[in-house]
């Protein structure tokens, strides 16, 4: 075996060596070709495309001679008196694009798939960028996401189905109103009903034989007779009602709870219905027969022989005690104490024996009394008990039954008494003897159980005698053994007798209370009970002794810990100790993060039990529940992101806060537990703002319906902008921005409120020319502040718009309420929005003005500006244009909609964009629109100013040309224009980033470059354009992942475009959206370059009405995981 393992490792090492040598040879060859420039000439001749401009060669030479020399790099383009591309550029289509469109060298036929293209360079694993070292979501969540994304889930339907289900599997179906639902057979009402029936059965078993034997009367003359009368009437009412209760109680059929009333009726008909109806009928007959003589002697003899027989039949109800015996045994088992079960078994046997003996005793006395009444000598005469009291007579009778004399004291001619004596002997021998034997067996079982525990302890002691252990250690071990034997007594049984469903529910009953203390699992219990049950089954129980360390700081965290019993000491990262008892949880982060270490120490102070949950087991439990898997994937991603933000808390404290916050922000939580204060009908921002506890409200706020914001603007016109008071003035004039009771605060959208305040302040600073207020947040950040020239251009844009007071008031209201459209609380209530923020805001303006009270102070024209601007913002996203994500067809949509709505609406839209972009970063001013962002924004707005007199392509590519001028990028060939759009997609802000992008582009083959050029230059008007959503995020993440890099990403894009050309072959759409969110997540976790380079071959393209989704599939994640395992094996081998 050792030889086989050794040869396997040698083979792997040889293979790796050959791959490394091959890579070195290929790299050396490429370097030599690149130096000579021949590779580009060969590629150009083969493809017919324009050769790479000489600028790239100059860049390569410059970089090769100044490796890493920052000072040798070309400096960023300095902004002079003009903004590059703004003053000297007007919207126009670059000549290289016109030449490319008119040529026929690159067409649809030029992008046919060539899947055998060589990928040797992608196996090198060379890092192109430095990798990040932050927390990352574990790859198993990516695998779970891709696994469940293949299912079409109607989220609302799933939610309704799940939330209508009870948590316990055996309780499912009991959510209907009480008047319509059947009773649960183990419900509280049914258990109380059964116990009362047991009480009545015991009463009948005691009183009925006595009343028959001793001629008791049913009257209220004495306590005994009154008790007999009361029990008979209660029995009559109860057993009549019991028939209807049984018809309304659910039943188990083959272990499954059945709620069908037809099935319940047929089961009852086959078992107890006939007997119950017969006995109740006899009871009514008896009461009707003796009713007229109620005050007289109502014994069985006065009632007649027929009535006596009917009364005897009531004893048949004692057959039901077998069912009640099972109930008492189950209740004893639910206590979790085995000795209680044994005691209950002994008690039940003793009670049954005593009841049977009591009935036989009464029958024996009744036989003697019957013989006596017939004029014969009975055993009562021979015992001289005819004149004794009833209690003494009962003692004589039970003495004879329990221990009959030999020979029997009866007359020779008394056949009935002698026959009873024989039967009584059989009863004493069989019944009582069997009961005593059962009790003895139970006690023997108890002794055997104790002996098993003693044997195990003895074996441990024998083991310890050979280990040279100290007395103190032996004592600790034995105490731990005692504790564990008490908690975990080994009991063997046939597991096939309990179904998987029932076993899972048993786990839920045992462990659910510990798991549901974690917020997200408590939510899972309510929304997805089956999934919660499987997670309970996945918990692993661990027992710890006194002063044993559960986990230590610095060790790898692989599981989440749930304390169940015992006392523990927790020492956090600051050294502070906390002693606690009961249910707590630790290290939830380990379920979601790829790698994590403990930052605290947990030690058991007493014997304790802890359940652990591994991340892999959690994912396995979620595999068969796409809805719950979707919830957990979103929750895990949000959890990891929040844990990376500094809060000043300890890691454990931060996890507790993050768990509660992330859980509350899930869609499922907000749907299950809607806050009444956040319901549309209940929100009253005006009432809260004007409440008596708020003392900082100006008079203008109290009259905002009649123009409070307008009054504020008039005050600013008269007195100018006062930076120290502008925030308070906005909060007073726009109730939605109030920090305590405003709409944003009520919906817990603090960041969106900060953005809204920043947008309003920045726009007012531009309108009233306050440069210092605008750049105030930038002075506190490591960025280049907005230059005076850029400020001048921004002011010129505002002047071009020429906002009226009405428009300025409307745009401030729009900027204040725009972020409300992102609230999941509102989206869940406004179904017609279809998840679009603009539609949410439009709904609020039209149907819920109590949520946006500022709109009540606006006229119809101002409201029209807001509504039309939201419609424009819905069809055109300026941020996507700034990073080259959209295409000229989107500009054409904006142009067409603007022609419909009018130029005045477009001017208002530009004013809104100025405020919107200024407030993206928050702050009391414009934190986002610093120098580098401002130059891009100004360039785009200067192009959009010509929306009505230029073509969409001129505007779009004119902006790209402006960006090229800023980065000093050439636009000599079509590849240069495509590369410039890639620079926008990569959010490159300086020359250095553009050069890195050039180098990655240069490593591509001619076919790959041609495919990308064809894709990047498509306009969506004349040629179909494919918009790759989340591509900028993919580019950013590929820079930080050494296994990906830009070149491999571009090659994967080529493979994706090849596959899309096949999928969209029959499509006539000019613009196709492709969702790359899965690819973005995969780039973040992939650790093997070969797996990434070939990921498209395992990718699934699913087309819906709106877009095509690229789902990475389980194969990619599985291969990535396998490559990681192989890497660690080699590392351990080394």
- Cis peptide leading into residue 550 (ω within 30°): no
Give the helix ranges, DSSP H, for 48-116: 54-65, 95-102
Q: Quickly state the pLDDT bin for 732 (edges 50, 70, 90).
A: confident
Residue 298 has pLDDT above 50, yes or no: no
Instruction: Give which of 386, 198, 373, 382 is closest to 300, Cα–Cα.
Output: 373
The answer to whether residues 655 and 587 touch, using CB atoms and an 8 Å cutoff, is yes
Q: What is the pLDDT of residue 361?
A: 86
Q: What is the pLDDT of residue 913?
A: 93
Edge-to-edge strands, sheet with 601-604? 549-551, 601-604, 567-571, 577-581
Instruction: Give which of 745, 753, 797, 755 is closest to 777, Cα–Cα.
Output: 755
Q: What is the pLDDT of residues 523-575, one digit of tens each?
A: 999 889 889 988 998 999 888 888 889 999 888 888 999 998 889 999 988 88
Domain 498-672 is classified in which CATH homologous superfamily? Answer: Jelly Rolls (2.60.120.10)
Q: What is the pLDDT of residues 898-924, one digit of tens each?
A: 999 988 999 999 999 999 999 998 888
| Helix 860-875 with 805-817: angle, nearest 10 deg | 50
Give the pair of three-digit tokens for residue 834. 């279809």
Parse the chain into domains and list their residue ranges: 104-134+974-983+991-1133, 182-334, 338-489, 498-672, 676-956
The answer to whether residues 250 and 258 touch, using CB atoms and an 8 Å cutoff, is yes
Section 412-433 average pLDDT: 78
For residues 625 and 527, what is the distance between their CA atoms, to the nearest angstrom? 11
Q: What is the pLDDT of residue 648?
A: 78
Q: Quickly state the pLDDT bin for 327 (edges 50, 70, 90).
A: low
Lowest mean pLDDT, pick from 435-449, 540-554, 868-882: 435-449
Q: What is the pLDDT of residue 428?
A: 74
Q: What is the pLDDT of residue 723?
A: 78
Give the helix ranges, DSSP H, for 374-470: 379-382, 390-402, 415-427, 433-465
Section 64-72 average pLDDT: 32
Lowest mean pLDDT, pick from 674-678, 895-899, 1028-1032, 1120-1124: 1120-1124
Q: What is the pLDDT of residue 374?
A: 79
Residue 142 has pLDDT above 90, yes or no: no
Lowest mean pLDDT, pick from 110-119, 780-789, 853-862: 110-119
Residue 830 has pLDDT above 50, yes or no: yes
| Helix 188-213 with 305-313: angle, nearest 10 deg | 150
Residue 657 has pLDDT above 60, yes or no: yes
Q: 1072: part of which helix (H) or strand (E)?
A: strand 1071-1075
Q: What is the pLDDT of residues 811-821, one digit of tens each?
A: 999 999 999 98
Q: What is the pLDDT of residues 751-785, one digit of tens each?
A: 899 999 999 999 999 999 999 999 999 988 888 89
596 Cβ neighbours under 8 A, 6+ residues apart:
135, 556, 557, 587, 589, 590
Three-class secondary structure of residue 198 per DSSP: helix
């Amino acid at each position: 075996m050792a030889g086989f393992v050794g040869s396997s490792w040698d083979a792997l090492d040889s293979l790796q060596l050959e791959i490394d040598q091959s890579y070195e040879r290929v790299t050396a060859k490429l370097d030599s070709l690149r130096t000579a420039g021949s590779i580009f000439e060969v590629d150009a001749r083969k493809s017919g495309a324009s050769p790479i401009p000489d600028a790239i060669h100059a860049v390569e030479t410059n970089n090769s001679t100044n490796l890493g020399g920052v000072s040798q790099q070309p400096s960023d383009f300095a902004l002079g008196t003009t903004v590059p591309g703004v003053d000297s550029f007007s919207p126009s289509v670059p000549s290289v694009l016109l030449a490319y469109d008119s040529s026929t060298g690159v067409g649809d036929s030029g992008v046919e798939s060539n899947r055998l293209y060589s990928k040797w360079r992608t196996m090198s694993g060379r890092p192109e960028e430095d990798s990040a070292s932050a927390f990352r979501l574990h790859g198993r969540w990516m695998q779970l996401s891709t696994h469940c994304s293949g299912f079409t889930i109607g989220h609302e339907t799933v939610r309704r189905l799940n939330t209508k289900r009870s948590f316990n599997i055996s309780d499912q179906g009991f959510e209907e109103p009480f008047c319509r639902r059947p009773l649960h057979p183990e419900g509280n009402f049914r258990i109380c009903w059964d116990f009362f029936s047991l009480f009545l059965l015991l009463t009948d078993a005691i009183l009925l034989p006595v009343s028959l034997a001793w001629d008791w009367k049913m009257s209220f003359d004495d306590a005994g007779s009154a008790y007999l009368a009361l029990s008979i009437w209660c029995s009559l009412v109860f057993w009549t009602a019991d028939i209807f209760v049984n018809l309304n109680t659910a039943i188990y059929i083959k272990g499954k709870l059945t709620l069908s009333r037809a099935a319940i009726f047929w089961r009852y008909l086959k078992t107890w219905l006939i007997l119950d109806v017969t006995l109740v009928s006899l009871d009514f007959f008896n009461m009707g027969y003796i009713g007229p003589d109620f005050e007289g002697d109502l014994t069985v003899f006065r009632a007649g022989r027929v009535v006596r027989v009917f009364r005897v039949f009531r004893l048949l109800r004692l057959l039901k005690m077998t069912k009640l015996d099972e109930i008492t045994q189950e209740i004893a088992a639910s206590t979790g104490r085995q000795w209680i079960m044994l005691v209950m078994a002994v008690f039940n046997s003793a009670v049954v024996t005593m009841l049977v003996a009591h009935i036989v005793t009464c029958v024996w006395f009744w036989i003697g009394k019957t013989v006596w009444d017939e004029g014969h000598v009975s055993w009562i005469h021979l015992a001289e008990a005819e004149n004794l009291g009833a209690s003494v007579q009962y003692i004589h009778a039970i003495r004879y039954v329990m221990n009959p004399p030999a020979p029997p004291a009866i007359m020779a001619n008394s056949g009935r008494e002698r026959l009873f004596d024989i039967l009584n002997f059989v009863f004493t021998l069989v019944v009582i003897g069997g009961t005593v034997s059962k009790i003895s067996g139970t006690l023997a079982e108890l002794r055997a159980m104790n002996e098993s525990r003693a044997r195990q302890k003895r074996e441990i002691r024998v083991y310890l005698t050979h280990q040279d252990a100290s007395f103190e250690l032996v004592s600790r071990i034995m105490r731990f053994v005692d504790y564990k034997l008490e908690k975990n007594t080994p009991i063997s049984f046939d597991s096939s007798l309990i179904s998987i469903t029932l076993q899972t529910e048993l786990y839920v009953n045992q462990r659910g209370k510990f798991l549901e203390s974690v917020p997200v699992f408590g939510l899972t219990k309510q929304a997805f009970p089956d999934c919660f049950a499987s997670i309970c089954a996945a918990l692993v129980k661990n027992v710890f002794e006194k002063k044993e360390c559960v986990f230590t700081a610095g060790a790898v965290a692989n599981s989440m810990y749930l304390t169940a019993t015992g006392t523990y000491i927790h020492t956090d990262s600051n050294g502070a100790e906390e002693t606690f008892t009961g249910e707590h949880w630790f290290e939830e982060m380990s379920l979601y993060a790829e790698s994590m270490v403990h930052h605290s120490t947990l030690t058991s102070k007493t014997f304790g039990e802890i359940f652990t949950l591994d991340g892999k087991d959690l994912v396995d439990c979620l595999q068969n529940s796409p809805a719950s898997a979707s919830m957990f994937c979103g929750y895990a991603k949000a959890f990891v992101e929040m844990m990376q933000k500094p809060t000043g808390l300890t890691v454990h404290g931060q996890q507790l806060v993050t768990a509660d916050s992330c859980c509350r922000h899930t869609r499922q939580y907000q749907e299950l537990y809607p806050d009444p204060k956040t319901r549309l009908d209940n929100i009253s921002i005006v009432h809260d703002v004007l409440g008596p506890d708020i003392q900082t409200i100006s008079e203008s706020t109290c009259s905002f319906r009649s123009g409070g914001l307008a009054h504020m603007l008039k005050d600013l016109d008269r007195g100018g902008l006062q930076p120290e008071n502008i925030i308070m003035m906005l909060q007073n004039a726009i109730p939605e921005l109030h920090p305590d009771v405003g709409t944003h605060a009520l919906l817990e959208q603090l960041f969106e409120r900060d953005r809204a305040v920043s947008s309003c302040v920045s726009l007012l600073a531009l309108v009233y020319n306050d440069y210092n207020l605008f750049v105030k947040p930038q002075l506190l950040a490591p960025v280049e502040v907005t230059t005076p020239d850029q400020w001048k251009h921004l002011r010129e844009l505002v002047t071009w718009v020429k906002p009226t007071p009405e428009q300025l008031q409307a745009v401030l209201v729009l900027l204040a309420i725009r972020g409300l459209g992102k609230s999941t609380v509102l989206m869940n209530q406004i179904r017609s929005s279809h998840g679009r923020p603009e539609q949410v805001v439009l709904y609020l303006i039209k149907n819920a003005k109590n949520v946006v009270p500022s709109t009540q102070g606006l006229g119809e024209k101002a409201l029209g500006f807001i509504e039309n601007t939201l419609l424009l913002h819905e069809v055109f996203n300026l941020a996507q244009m700034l990073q080259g994500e959209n295409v000229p067809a989107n500009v054409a949509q904006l142009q067409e909609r603007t022609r419909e709505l009018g130029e005045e609406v477009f001017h208002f839209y530009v004013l809104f964009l100025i405020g919107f972009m200024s407030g993206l970063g928050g702050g009391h001013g414009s934190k986002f629109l610093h120098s580098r962002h401002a130059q891009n924004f100004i360039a785009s707005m200067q192009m959009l100013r010509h929306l009505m007199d230029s073509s969409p392509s001129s505007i779009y590519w004119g902006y790209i040309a402006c960006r090229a001028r800023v980065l000093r990028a050439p636009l000599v060939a079509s590849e240069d224009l495509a590369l410039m759009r890639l620079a926008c997609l990569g959010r490159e802000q300086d020359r250095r980033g553009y050069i890195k992008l050039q180098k990655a582009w240069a490593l591509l083959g001619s076919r790959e470059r041609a495919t990308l050029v064809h894709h990047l230059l498509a306009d969506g008007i004349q040629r179909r354009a494919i918009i790759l959503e989340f591509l900028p995020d993919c580019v950013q993440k590929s820079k930080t992942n050494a296994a990906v890099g830009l070149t491999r990403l571009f090659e994967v894009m080529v493979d994706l475009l090849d596959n899309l050309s096949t999928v969209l072959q029959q499509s006539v759409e000019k613009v196709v959206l492709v969702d790359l969110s899965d690819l973005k997540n995969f780039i973040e976790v992939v650790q093997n370059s070969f797996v990434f380079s070939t990921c498209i071959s395992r990718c699934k393209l699913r087309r819906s009405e709106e877009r095509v989704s690229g789902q990475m599939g389980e194969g990619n994640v599985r291969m990535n995981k396998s490559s990681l395992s192989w890497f660690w094996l080699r590392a351990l081998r080394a």
